[in-house]
Structure 1
Amino acid sequence: MNLTNIFESTDFVHASGTKEELQVAEFLKGQCEELGVTAKIEAFRVAMGNIEESHLFADGKEIPCKAFNCCGSGVVEGELYYMPGTDPVSVAGAKDKIVLLDTQGIGFFGYQDLMKAGAKGIIFQYGNVHFPNTDIDQRDLREAVVGEERKVLCAMIHSSQAVELVKNKVKNIRLEVFQKEYDGQSHNVVAELPGKRDEFIVLTAHYDTTSLSHGAYDNMSGCAGLLGIMEQLKGKELNYGLRLVFCGSEERGLLGSKAYVRDHKEELEKIVLNINLDMIGTYLGKFIACVSAEDKLVHYISYMAAETGFPVEAKSGVYSSDSTPFADGGVPALSFARISSPNVTPIHCRYDVKEVMSMEQLQRDIDFLVKFTQHFANAVVCPVAREIPEKIKKELDEYLFRKRKEQ
């Protein structure tokens, strides 16, 4: 398998629900088949929006913006309210205002609070005022965030423009958005290596990108990891089979892994472990494992790191990636990643391209992951308890917006 070819063949934006995302899904299916492993593509629904027109006027002067997909259509006008915090005192001032936040997005409870306070619209900001480019990311107003509340118009502006709005004490904002919303499709690619037992291990990695990124680090690197594991373990006798799932639409709220867990609910009892790969193989950065399972697995990974001479920082918790829906479904899960500084390998922007990747480090990461996977695939009985600790359940409730995070 040619690792470099994987990155060269996917060196373009392939965001959720687009024809480019499907193109990469078909490429990954083809890569599996070249390795002699049958793969299939499973479709699932994603909410999509086609922005026809969007304008943002600050005291009558138009400034560049990108409206959020799926935030509705129409025109809203009101007083600008810069709100750097989401505390109750700050939120109380949002009534009948167009709210400017310091963030690129908003969580469920933050959105619910703003709607209950009577906010008329929301402006987010993206970018770095010191960078030469003035990119604005394309985001969506997620169904999971809106819940049962009303939709309001939302738009992203560049951070340099946000500074100007505040510096110039802009009073009035007018936001115009016109779009067509529709049900689109995203896809998971599913391949399998058989085992002796009826139970199996699921390995996951997402392949979609954000609207500006080519997604080499985040996360074609994880997909290359899955293909590397497949290449080294295909044809070997395994006690537990391996099901490899390349997930679509992770960047829009883990939609691919959520769809897989939902659509394969009857099989969850047969999954003994989920191993997720999200961002590996960079020149710099430490290798980490985040375990949403019993603490014994954290210790096991630390011991294996010492045994193999491959440093891993292992901890328990909930990781913001495709391991989370599996853990929420009762499957012991963990994510591996090589975390590099955002000043070296930034994600969700134009700088996430193949040049940030080290093929040598990626191969070393894959070799460790093969050893780890093979240990569990050949276990007489999977040693990881099939129970999610209470502290992890609490974190899952907070991450998935079922409970507010304790301050």
Structure 2
Amino acid sequence: MTIRGSIDALTPLDATGWCHDDRRSEPQLVQAMINGAVIGEAIADLSRPDLAAAGLGDGRCGFRIEFGAAIDPAQLAFVVVKPDHGDVELPRTNLTGFVDAFRAMRARHPGVGWTRSLFGGLWTDRVDARRRLAGRVAIGAVSPQAAGPLGRYIEAGHVVLRDALAPVGLDARTEEAVARLPAGALSPRGSLDAADVLTALPGVLFRDAALGLLRGAFDDNPLVCRAELARGTTDFAQPSTAEPLPSPTECAAIVMGIGEGRLMLDVVRDSHALPEFTTDGVSRWLAGGVATLALATATAASLDTELLGMTDMAVIAPGTLYRLRVPAGMTAVVALATPNRQTPLRFLTGEFGDFTLRHPSGAVLSL
């Protein structure tokens, strides 16, 4: 390989780094792209004394690519830089905030399944998850009924379970309590209405379809450690940043709508397939360390929209970027589920965890 280089820094305005081709004497034209669309280009001819000292010609192989327009910070994970005459992507240094260890891992062990996070994660997040699913079905660890939804969950980072709540979800009395509550996290200490809703949730969240999927993904019974109500259009979020967890890659969000109408779930396509966490444990989707997520716009990613009726549920994978659009008259219930072997960090520090309901199936709701 004669082309060498790296992306040393990325901002919403530009990308800087270096690119050198041993076979060519003239400087390289390098292009910054998002999903194949060129957002800027430059000649890699800036002086880099450090590269000259390393023996890379006269060191005039640095570049600074100014983007045609400022991009959203959430798009930085999608930016690639390539020489214009080839398909090779320049690797990123750790200075960019995005770990490139995965590239080396893939090159060294191309046939080995690996997770997309440096911290591991659920087996459904492995690149060989489809093969592992077939093996689990063969030995009886996953039921044939759960295999189809699990396969869709692996491929898309989410799955909609149609009619999982049929013939009805929450009863009329509990739906009235939901309508009286404000949007936000449900606390058993908040009001009698909140306590009534939380008491009714295990019987809905742990219906057979969702329970089979979660048990298959978790290799364990699920523990719901957070439940909240959402109305209107929510910000983009992902399950792994919803709650402090010892292993943030081991979780899933369960979503259902309460009331008449259709809840809209927008998912950033393939967002679950990107390595999520940096070595310091920060999700790559966080913009500047702020715990709110910006929209990856149409130039960076495509959205898939699912419609959820009153008897439908959705299960969303840890790294999937999503938002909810809840029509007037409806409320969305979002529950964060983890394997029962996990203990949320706030429980370990003595905050909450004193309201626990155990479902006959072995699943638990604890807040």
Q: Identify whether the pair has TM-score above 0.5, normalized to the shorter chain.
A: no
Flag the structure with higher helix content: 1
Calculate the TM-score normalised by the size of structure 2: 0.29
